[in-house]
Amino acid sequence: MTNERKTLEQAVRERRSTPSFDGEAIPAADLRQILDAGLRAPSGYNMQPWRFIVVQHPEQRRRIRAASYNQAKVEEASAIVVACGDRDGWRRDLEEMLRMGRAGGMPESYAAQAAANVPGYLSGFSDDQMKGWLNKQVTIATTTMLWMAEVMGYDTAILEGFEQQRICETLRLPMSYWVVSLLAIGHLKGADKFDGGRFDTSHTLFGEEFGKPLKLG
Ligand SMILES: Cc1cc2nc3c(=O)[nH]c(=O)nc-3n(C[C@H](O)[C@H](O)[C@H](O)COP(=O)(O)O)c2cc1C
């Protein structure tokens, strides 16, 4: 199947959370492009605490479905990207982050500050704070994958309906991993989801301070 490419504008306008997928495999080069896009996302201090488990094997997709309240789309999708954060990643990755940064022109003053600030900031986190931090970082990368897949003509669905412990066990994740979401990628089968609509902007957009309507132009 040749995918119809979309502009980002078109993808943003047309995207729906895909209700059902046809299961046709994604070419490896396309999947690579989608994943690479996510790995280029920004992250706090460039710590990249995300870890992605890509599940394509039908048997493993079936297991993930069982751990996701039996949501059929999880098994039907061509690939499920299980988006995780590593609570301990920064402990091991700080040095490499600094090495890469220096290779890319990071000033020594910035490196010294990051070397002190990253442990100072993250080591004081409670588990809940760490999960909040990971949710933020990992979601930016996952959403970047979502949009890359959409502009490449794939259909997507992001899911939070899964059992944390069961996903961890199914994928044999290290204890320090926290599962943030599942990103299902493939091709829509049947009718697309209804358009749920969006709240009036008076409810969600403000200008300059809370409660003031945003005036554009
Ligand atoms: C973080 C997140 C988790 C979601 N989890 C699920 C899910 O587990 N199952 C599901 O069917 N849809 C899930 N959705 C899809 C939402 O229901 C959907 O985005 C919303 O109804 C708006 O519809 P639209 O995405 O088609 O615009 C999730 C969406 C987000 C952003």
Whether the CB of 142 sits within 6 Å of ligand 1: no
Which residue has the CA at smallest separation from atom 18 of ligand 1? 17
CA distance 48 to 86: 9
Asked whether the beta carbons of 2 and 30 are under 8 A apart, the reply is no
158 CB-near residues (< 8 Å, 6+ apart): 17, 142, 143, 146, 181, 182, 183, 184
Whether the CB of 190 sits within 6 Å of ligand 1: no
| Average pLDDT for 42-71 | 98
Report CA(190)–ligand 1 centroid distance (Å). Answer: 18
Which residue has the CA at smallest separation from atom 26 of ligand 1? 16
pTM score above 0.95: yes
The pLDDT score that the predictor gives to residue 3 is 85
Helix (H) or strand (E) holding 85: strand 79-86
Q: Is the pLDDT of residue 11 over 80?
A: yes
- Report the mean per-residue pLDDT for the chain: 97
DSSP string, 122-165: HTT--HHHHHHHHHHHHHHHHHHHHHHHHHTT-EEEEE--S-HH
The pLDDT score that the predictor gives to residue 1 is 63
Q: What percent of the chain has pLDDT over 70?
A: 100
Give the Å distances, CA to CA, from 107 to 43, 93, 102, 110.
18, 19, 7, 5
From the CA of 69, give the closest atom in ligand 1: 8
CA distance 34 to 32: 5
List the domains of the chain with CATH numbers: 8-204 (3.40.109.10)
Whether the CB of 193 sits within 6 Å of ligand 1: yes
Give 57-91 pLDDT, tens digit per residue.
999 999 999 999 999 999 999 999 999 999 999 99
Q: Is the pLDDT of residue 217 over 90?
A: no
The pLDDT score that the predictor gives to residue 123 is 95
Report CA(160)–ligand 1 centroid distance (Å). Answer: 8
Q: What percent of the chain has pLDDT over 90?
A: 98
| Average pLDDT for 208-215 | 96
Residue with tokens 């990643």, as numbered in its chain: 89
Give 129-142 pLDDT, tens digit per residue.
999 999 999 999 99
Q: Which DSSP state fits 66?
A: H
